[in-house]
Structure 1
Amino acid sequence: MRIRSVVLGLLLGSLSMLAFGQKAITIKLSHVVAADTPKGKASDFFAKRAAELTKGQVKVDVYPNSQLYKDKEEMEALQIGAVQMLAPSLAKFGPLGVREFEVFDFPFIFDDTADLHRVTQGPVGASLLGKLDAKGVKGLAFWDNGFKSFSANTPLRSAVDFKGKKFRIQSSKVLEEQIRTLGGTPQVMAFSEVYQALRTGVVDGTENPISNLYSQQMHEVQKHLSISNHGYLGYAVIVNKKFWDRLPGDIRGQLEQAMKEATTYANKIAQEENDLSLEAVRKSGKTTVYVLSKEERMALKKAMAPVHNKMADRVGKDLLEAIYKETGFNANAP
């Protein structure tokens, strides 16, 4: 009976593979940042491990730097099957119709990586990924990029410094409210367009993890960088659900293992890459780096606290409370 079960399993696996043809299964993984960022390196790591674990049955082709699609295009490309896998920033899921993901855009909701991982690696994170199924998307993992800091051509040390300035943001109602609360003007634009917009003065400033700022040479057109760590920028690795469900079970399992390893790798290097990038920005001599004091950061946190109340209904008060419980968030605490 055991031999018969093994033979039957092999036969079913072979039949499943026929659905994809005799050639290797190709997965196109598209993303919008540089290859030498945490997301870029993690994507390449996943491609390598996928090939190794499947013994060449799966080939992951990685397309960085918006080679295939820009921010606004890539989600639709995934849904229609033009690409099979993406790792979009979490702000991209609000426009998709899953507003709950915009909770990650709330200012100062995570004090550190430990707070963050209690959410992304726990039941709250799993529940959020599960909400993507209804959109034809399968959520596989959360990848860290890092905490964001503000940059501009004038110093940004207190809330009053933001008034009247135009800031590039991702497409997120929460981020729009964040900039408005500080007295600035939010402007949504594709990541690939930000450098030119900063260079020509279309926008005055932006918010980014330092690895993104440096890899896109934004520091060359931004005279001031304030290390605020006010918000989190991470990614959800997602795959076209129909494509994923059609994969043979053994292949799916091997890819899940590759993704698990890639996630550990991504989260490990995220802080390292941001630290190295910050050092490089300082050495460039083109940008003045200012680290907010504890008192200045607390004042900025208080100034941005109204965003939580204003946007609670958008993401769901129950979700917000669940995250507060995990992180111990208190708008009035340092």
Structure 2
Amino acid sequence: MFRLAAAAACALALGLAAAPAPTSAAERLTLTSQYGPGKPQTLLWERFAEILERERPGAYDINIVTNGALGGEKEEAEAIRLGAITGAESTIANLTTWVPLGAVLDLPFVFQDAAHIERVLEGPLGDELKAAYRAEGFETPAFIIFGARHLLGKTPLTEPGDVDGLTMRVLQSDLHVALWRSLGANPTALPITEAYTALSNGVVDAMDMTKSGFEALKLYEVAPVLTETAHIWAVGVVYFDANFWAGLDADERALFQKASEEAAAYFNEIAAEEQEAALQRAMALGASRAAVDQELWRAAVAPFVEDFVRNMEDPRAVDALEMIQEAR
């Protein structure tokens, strides 16, 4: 029932969002971004479209739908599996419903920096994850790095005990729900498109987000203090409907792979540059930042990390965590 409803909703939204059809027989591609024009997630798809147009002029009619108009990340993923959307960018956390192994990338304090993430994903673990996504209907030609996640609230949240009793908006991921519950918070899983309203209405007290997302979604208006925990590095994918991908001929597949990799590299570059600049813009509009002792947080979540990995559905999780640790 959910899938049928998601497909129907996407079909309606696509009809509303669609641009006038071209006169040529160009193939229609619908690509989605949770963010608006000018933001890295949308610029990723614009770069992708530029590459396709440069290599095969007029072959594709590319419709980039922004601001989460076709639903949150979960709804987009369902629509991609149904063929209602061609491609999207997504956090790894969103796809753990289908590939639980991906949750190891979302464990707190396992990555040192973006270079550490790249070393891991260019190795065997990256290949394993791509194969697992393909088996679930997702083709993932490239990984992306959104940046480190930090706590957002109306007051500084500098110690683990500060989240005890708070209602927190979290990603729609079992790991994120379990992580914050282990620290005494009351997690509420919501699409990012609902976060601002939930904070504004007092439905939730706090959440976590990258610095660029803090500014792009104007979350500083309702949660003005960003506490620099950098507890999780948000990793994501550029992904497509696997059936669509399988239907491409060899030359098209090579082109889409190249375009995805180049667009992902471009995204990683601008997303990294955007983090501090975005926070500075938010601070100019009234936001503030608070520092933390990361070792205090690391010690607080260490038991959670050990228990979560040991109890994961996928027996490869322990080995995956070791791969991450060995790549430091």
TM-score (structure 2 length as normaliser)? 0.88
Q: Provide the C-alpha distance between the structure 1 equivalents of 2:66 and 2:221, rounded to a whole number of angstroms.
A: 21
Aligned residue pairs, count: 304
Runs of 4+ in 1 over 4 A off after TM superposition: none
Q: Supply the distance in 2 between the matched residues of 1:196 and 1:141 (Cα, whole angstroms).
A: 32
Matches within 5 A, 1:90-129: 90-95=92-97, 97-129=98-130
Aligned match for 2:27, one of 15, 25, 28: 25
Q: Alignment partner of 1:59: what SS?
A: strand
Q: Which moved further from structure 2: 110-119 or 27-36?
A: 27-36
| Contact 2:34 2:41 (C-alpha < 8 Å) held by counterparts | no
CA distance in 1, matches of 2:26, 2:65: 18
**3-state SS of the aligned residue for 1:34?**
coil
Specify the alignment match of 1:19 in structure 2. Answer: none
Distance 2:107 2:182 in 1: 12
The equivalences for 1:179-328 within 5 A come to: 179-284=180-285, 286-292=286-292, 296-312=293-309, 313-314=311-312, 316=314, 318-328=316-326
Cα RMSD (Å): 1.8
> How far apart are residue 183 of structure 1 and its match?
1.2
Give the unaligned 5+ runs of structure 2: 1-23
Tell me the secondary structure at the aligned position of residue 42 of structure 1.
helix
SS at match of 2:312: helix
User: Shift of residue 236 of structure 1?
Assistant: 1.1
Structural mapping, 1:92-171, within 5 Å: 92-95=94-97, 97-171=98-172
The DSSP-based 3-state class of the residue aligned with 2:246 is helix
The share of aligned pairs that are identical, in percent, is 26
Unpaired runs of 5+ in structure 1? 1-21
CA positional deviation for 1:77: 0.8
For residue 157 of structure 1, give the secondary structure of its aligned residue in structure 2: coil
Compared CA separation, residues 329 and 199, structure 1 to 2 (3 A): farther
Task: Give the letter for the 1:183 counterpart.
Answer: G
Q: Is contact 1:38-1:145 (8 Å) kept?
A: no
C-alpha contact (below 8 Å) 2:245/2:253 kept by paired residues = yes
Distance 1:320 1:112 in 2: 21
Deviations 1:254-274 (A, max 9, x none): 121111211211111111011
Shift of residue 316, structure 1, vs aligned partner: 3.8
Task: Indicate the structure (1 or 2) with the bigger Cα radius of gyration.
Answer: 1
Q: Secondary structure at the match of 1:314?
A: coil
CA distance in 2, matches of 1:326, 1:101: 12
**1:35-79 CA distances to partner (integer Å, 9 max, x unpaired)?**
333222112111111111222212322111111222331111111
Tell me how far apart the structure 2 counterparts of residues 150 and 113 of structure 1 sit (CA, whole Å): 19
C-alpha contact 2:143 2:238 (8 A) present in aligned 1: yes
Matched residue SS, 1:239: strand
Q: State the AA in 2 paired with 1:290.
A: A
